[in-house]
Amino acid sequence: MPRPQPTRFSSFWSPLMLLWPAITIQWASFVQAFRTRGFAALWNPTKQLDFGVASLLIETSEGFIQYESTTVVPSLVKQSRGKILELGPGPGNQIHRFDPDLVEFIHAIDPNPHFKEDIAKKLQSTDLESRYKFLVCGVEDSDVLRAEGVTEGSMDTILSIQVMCAVKDPRPVMKEVYKLLKPGGQFIFWEHGKSTDMLTRIGQTLWNPAWSAFVGCNMNRDIRGAILAAGEWEGLEKVEDTDDPLTFLPRTWGVLVKRA
């Protein structure tokens, strides 16, 4: 029997597959925080959201790893080399995909502090433990990065796997990414953004308030445009995009090289 094909209606409701678990996990984390901190849990909603998003990503980590293993992600990550800056490592889903023979050092940066323990556990089963450091900061926190030797024109590789959807504004973030790369350095990415299909874009806009509040990222950003506008790149012809007009999470990926 042939598999039923997705329709516009079924695609519209597909975000519920992750949104509902996200809501339940966020609620559970809030209840836990309220039990331990009382009404103080209400006074810092950003801190509580960070904890809830971390709980969601940690709990779904194995599922994400399995899903990404069916995509180009493993082959992209394996191309990382030299001095590497990993953006938004989350609970360390990509650690096992790096080729240790190509890695000089990895600085992994995330403003959410709740991933540190899970990353440390994953590193114990690799050859990267002494060459991987998790930093609680964003790419715009130049003072923190400078203290670690991450300076303008110093990175051989910057890796971004499903990160630009969650930053405050991808355009200035990508400008900083471009500055940190050496001439000839590579930006490796696998992201999702707004659809090229008008009706799907409308659906993304309708879903985005709930999605961003509970999942912690945005559906309807022009991530591809932000990446390409960051500077002068080589390899533009190799950037690939999902061709499914019905998906609410269309992907764009590639390996771009900073023009010397």
pLDDT tens for the chain, residues 1 to 260: 455 555 555 555 456 566 656 556 554 555 454 455 544 544 555 555 666 667 777 777 888 889 899 999 999 999 999 999 999 999 999 999 999 999 999 999 999 888 999 999 999 989 999 999 999 999 999 999 999 999 999 999 999 999 999 999 999 999 999 999 999 999 999 999 999 999 999 999 998 988 887 777 899 999 999 999 999 999 999 999 997 888 889 999 999 999 98
Q: What angle do CA 251, 220, 255 make, to 5 degrees?
A: 30
With a CB cutoff of 8 Å and minimum separation 6, the contacts of 195 are 201, 204, 245, 247, 248, 250
The domain segmentation of the chain, as residue ranges, is: 8-258
Pairwise CA distance, residues 260 & 255, whole Å: 15
pTM score, whole prediction: 0.85
**CATH topology assigned to domain 8-258:** Rossmann fold (3.40.50)
Pairwise CA distance, residues 126 & 60, whole Å: 21
Pairwise CA distance, residues 69 & 86, whole Å: 18
